[in-house]
Amino acid sequence: MAERLRLMAVHAHPDDESSKGAATTAKYVAEGVDVLVVTCTGGERGSVLNPKMDRPDVWANIADIRRAEMDAARAILGVEQAWLGFVDSGLPEGDPLPPLPEGCFALQDVAEAAGPLVRLMREFRPHVVTTYDEDGGYPHPDHIMTHKISVAAFDAAGVPGRYPDLGEVWQPLKLYYDIGFSKGKILALHEALLAAGIESPYEEWIKRWEDRPDKGPRITTRVECAEYFPVRDDALRAHATQIDPDGFWFQLPMELQRAAWPTEDFQLVRSLVGSSLPESDLFAGVR
C-alpha cells in the first residue's frame, strides 16, 4: 500500500489503552503505523486503586487528574488520542445491584452513541479497529457499551445513507476483539513463576475457569510484541490513580513474561480482506 496504515483502538476509560493491547499499539507505532486511541469516557467514577493516591485532593480533582494521566500515557505509547465525551457509568456493586447513574455512558441509546465514533472513523479512516468482545472483556457496563458502539460504528461507517451528516463514508477493513487473558496464558505464567521458584498469584484465576468459558479457542491472531512490554508498563504507571506501582504485576520478571507469553492476542470478527488464520499481524491481508 502507498498510504500509511492506520489502526484505531476503542477503549472505555483512560488506563484501558495501557492495560489492553498496549504493547501491540506501541509496536505498530514504532513500525510507522498511525494509531488512534479512542477513549469513550473520562473515567470520572473510577476507583483510586493506588493507596498512595487515595487522598481527598485527588478525589476532588479526579476528572482532571485522569485526563492528565491519559496525556502522559499517550505520549509514552506514541499514539494519537480522542475523547468521545461520555460520562463514566461506574461499576455497580451490591445485591441487588443499584441502578446506573442517570445520563451515564452505559444508558445511552446505542445508535446515537455510535455517532461520534462513526465520525471519528470517517475522519481518521482506520484500516483496522480493535475493541472488546460482547462481555466487555469483563462485565463492566462501560466496556460492554464500548463493544456495542464499536461494532455498530464499524458496520455503519462505510454505508452511504447511514449517519449522512457525519462525514464522507469510510469502511474499515478488519475488526478485532482484544483477548487479554486466556486460560493458556495464565497457566503459562503460573508455571513459569513456579519453575523460577517465585510464588504465583494465579491459583485463584485458574480455578475460575472451572465456572466460566475459556476464550483461548477464540484467538485467531497473536502479535509478537514482547519487546514493547516495558513500554506497556511505563504507560500503565502513568495512570497513577489506577495502578499501584508496587503491585504484584510489576514484580513479575520481565524476561519471564517475555519467554512465557510473548504475544498479545486478538479475535478477528469482521474482515473485508483475505487472510489465512491463524495470523500474526492485525494488518494481514491489508498491507
Dig out the grid coordinates for 108 from the structure: 445511552
Type of residue numbered 257: Q
Angle formed at CA 183 by CA 276 and CA 139, multiple of 5 degrees: 95
Secondary structure tally for the chain: helices H, strands E: 10, 7
- Residues 71 and 64: their CA atoms lie apart, in Å, by 11
- Residues 58 and 241: their CA atoms lie apart, in Å, by 8
- Residues 176 and 9: their CA atoms lie apart, in Å, by 9
Strand stretches in 29-169, DSSP E: 34-41, 80-86, 128-131
Q: Residue positions in the annotated binding site? A: 13, 16, 143
Instruction: For residue 222, give the H/E element and its range.
Output: strand 221-224
Q: Residue positions in the annotated binding site for Zn(2+)? A: 13, 16, 143
Give the long-range contacts of residues 102-110, CB within 8 A, separation 24 or more: 104/45, 104/141, 104/142, 105/12, 105/40, 105/41, 105/141, 105/142, 105/145, 106/141, 106/142, 106/144, 106/145, 108/145, 110/145, 110/148, 110/149, 110/152
**97, 106 Cβ separation under 8 angstroms:** no
- DSSP, res 88: P
